[in-house]
A and B are shown apart, each in its own frame.
Chain A
């Protein structure tokens, strides 16, 4: 514990960096996934390409992706952007499929009604289809956030790892500084839990309709 108190400022600061590294990709990845998921839900051809490719991307080991990024993007090897770009790829890989499925699951009677009411395709997407996809979307974003939270630490191997620093640093001192390692791990877990909880709360606030009991009230 004494290590924690002595380094509380650094822990806090690094936590913020960690959050920044993990969550910017979630935001960017979500924004990119929405149109891709929309395309996959609308066109069989797009789905046939997008879904397998995104699944394939997710199977690439994180460390490999971190190392490839500078080559692909032309960035410097130690640029934090490498980690964020790689995590954005993972987020997209996770979300495209679930967004496509969520949009495809909107009942046909609802989309038909929306079209017949006079919604144009884009208006219908934002007013009807996207809101109905929110429960699935939030579930996907929660998985991506927690997954990114742990993957950021791996980025320490290319020098950009947020709280991952304490894991590597603690392991490299002799004898190993277990307090430092455990503090780093606990901080990552804590951050992941908080972010996950906040997202779950956000999801609840956005979808009051999904929790109402079904069934009739009174006479038809």
Chain B
């Protein structure tokens, strides 16, 4: 366990970056430090591996003050991932990953073999091993950064805004990947971000810090959304926190109704008879959704339905639970319904095949039911 014991960081000019922080970080969980800039989240993180020394108080790992050992020794036992990855431009991907084991005196060949395995663990093609960081995209570099941090198999991983410099699509991928990795590895991860959505998505627990380095609230994401302790936390977790809280409620109570589906290539005349409430999902051979057709659309189609005729679909509601992020939650179901042109959210299984449709009022009804059953945290 990592413990902050009334830790204060005061700089010579009098600025207080962290103010009497008390925080106990659970083993094997992701703890997110989140807050606006100037809240001391990065400073707090860096006190764990002594990149910053506290002015008062102490940081303990498993009961031992981090200052009990040399800073370089301490750091070799703690993984560290930063924004923009901070890869060494002059070393190949493989040698970047092998950095800490080699520093620890590991045999170079063995360290490289292990590094190659790690590339696969973080979802990188082994063909990247011999490349230099400049030949990789931002997202790929960040994966290498994670592999490098994991190379010496440290129990603790510190991540300082690791995904904030990549585009939103890649960020989603990397976040999902981190959750997948964490489910496998069970590291103690301390994650710093300024993005409350990221905090809520990734954190088992979230510590909200306010400017001046004081802890505002330390709770599970669902408790944070349901019961912010004060106006600062309420405004920080955002206006649509009621909607986002749906992320933590499973959609198991939402009925998945049959939905009209039509194979691509079906003649328009045949399709017209199969619409439900004027709409039908068009699917491929694997029964995966491609888009919607309506009465209005079909009236313009002369022969068979082609890809160009379709109204694009909304987000998909993944009913199979083995998914990271929003999958299978009320939020996922509601968003699918709200974003669909027909008003019916498409539900798919893990393989992406259509299993039915969900409606927004059914989601709201399921929420009301969960609330009366006391399943909604307050």
Q: Which A positions have Cβ atoms within 8 angstroms of B?
A: 107, 109-110, 112-120, 123, 128, 131-132, 207-210, 212-218, 220
Contacts and interface: CB of A to CB of B under 8 A. Distances in A.
Given A209-B134, A220-B138, 12 more contacts: A107-B86, A110-B87, A115-B51, A118-B72, A118-B73, A118-B100, A128-B88, A209-B90, A209-B132, A214-B135, A215-B135, A216-B136
Given A212-B135, A214-B135, A132 B51 contact: no
A44 to B, nearest CB: 16
Interface string B41-63: 00000000101000000000000
A113 B136 contact: no
B137 A209 contact: no
**Which 9 A-B pairs rank lowest in CB-CB distance, beginning with the nearest?**
A220-B139, A113-B86, A216-B137, A118-B76, A109-B86, A116-B80, A118-B75, A209-B132, A214-B134
B156 to A, nearest CB: 12
A132 B82 contact: no
Contacts of B99: 117
A120 B137 contact: no
A132 B100 CA distance: 19
A220 B173 contact: yes
B76 A217 contact: no
Nearest to B145: A113
Nearest to B104: A118
Contacts of B140: 216-217, 220
A203 to B, nearest CB: 13
Contacts of A212: 131-132, 134-135
A117 B136 contact: no
A80 to B, nearest CB: 38
A113 B80 contact: yes
Nearest to B170: A220
Contacts of B82: 109, 112-113, 116
Interface string B135-174: 1111110010100100000000010000000100010011
A216 B143 CA distance: 13
Name which of A110, A118, A131, A215 has the most chain B CB atoms within 10 A of its CB.
A118
Contacts of B76: 117-118
B165 to A, nearest CB: 10
Interface of B: 49, 51, 72-76, 80, 82-91, 99-100, 103, 125, 128, 131-132, 134-140, 143, 145, 148, 158, 166, 170, 173-174
Contacts of B85: 109, 113
A114 B72 CA distance: 10
Contact of A217 (B86, B88, B136, B170): B136
Contacts of B72: 118-120
B135 A217 contact: yes
Contacts of A217: 128, 131, 135-137, 140
Nearest to B84: A109
A118 B49 CA distance: 9
A110 B88 contact: yes
A114 to B, nearest CB: 7
Name which of B51, B85, B135, B158 has the most chain A CB atoms within 10 A of its CB.
B135
Contacts of B91: 209
Given A115-B51, A116-B51, A132 B138 contact: no
Contacts of B132: 208-209, 212
Contacts of B128: 217
A114 B88 contact: yes
B146 to A, nearest CB: 12
A118 B106 CA distance: 14
A56 to B, nearest CB: 33
A118 B140 CA distance: 23
Contacts of A208: 132
Contacts of A216: 135-137, 140
Contacts of B148: 117
5 contacts: A110-B88, A113-B88, A117-B100, A212-B131, A216-B135
A122 to B, nearest CB: 11
A143 to B, nearest CB: 23
Nearest to B127: A217
Contacts of A117: 75-76, 80, 99-100, 103, 148
Name which of A123, A132, A212 has the most chain B CB atoms within 10 A of its CB.
A212
Nearest to B86: A113
Contacts of B125: 218
Nearest to B174: A220
A183 to B, nearest CB: 43
Contacts of B145: 113
Contacts of A207: 90
Contacts of B87: 110, 113
